[in-house]
Amino acid sequence: MRRRKTRNKRNKTKDMKRHFRVRCLQRLGENVSETEMLEIVDLIQKQEGTFVETQSHRISVWDVLFRSKTIRVIYDKTRKSVVTVLGEVKNSEKGGKA
């Protein structure tokens, strides 16, 4: 029996990180490094961002300070990873359900 080729195997966590990078470029006009993504995750895990809402058991929405801008991100607690960025938060949108 032959084995399947695994060199092109995809991973959900890697796909989410790639998606986050693409959305940052589209919505903020900025490239984000792996280190910066980990810093955003670290801010969320230390509860240094502003919690906005829970969307499901594993998905939550956070406002995080990034490069002197407040951005709204979706966080997956199961994979301990950011899913996407929704964009920059305007002053009128700030404030969450803590």
3-class DSSP state of 53:
strand
- Phi, psi dihedrals of residue 74, rounded to the nearest 5°: -105, 130
Q: What is the mean pLDDT of the chain?
A: 87
Does 95 map to a domain?
no
Flag whether the pTM goes above 0.95: no
More confident residue, 14 or 6: 14
Q: How far does CA 8 lie from the centroid of its chain?
A: 24
Distance in angstroms (rounded) separating the CA atoms of residues 67 and 36? 10
Tokens for 48, please give them.
């240094």
Does 43 map to a domain?
yes
pLDDT band at 94 (very low <50, low <70, confident <90, very high): low
Does 6 map to a domain?
no
- Digit-coded pLDDT (tens) for 19-63: 999 999 999 999 999 999 999 999 999 999 999 999 999 999 999
Q: Write down the pLDDT at residue 91.
A: 73
Tokens for 1, please give them.
């029996």
For 75, the domain range is 12-89
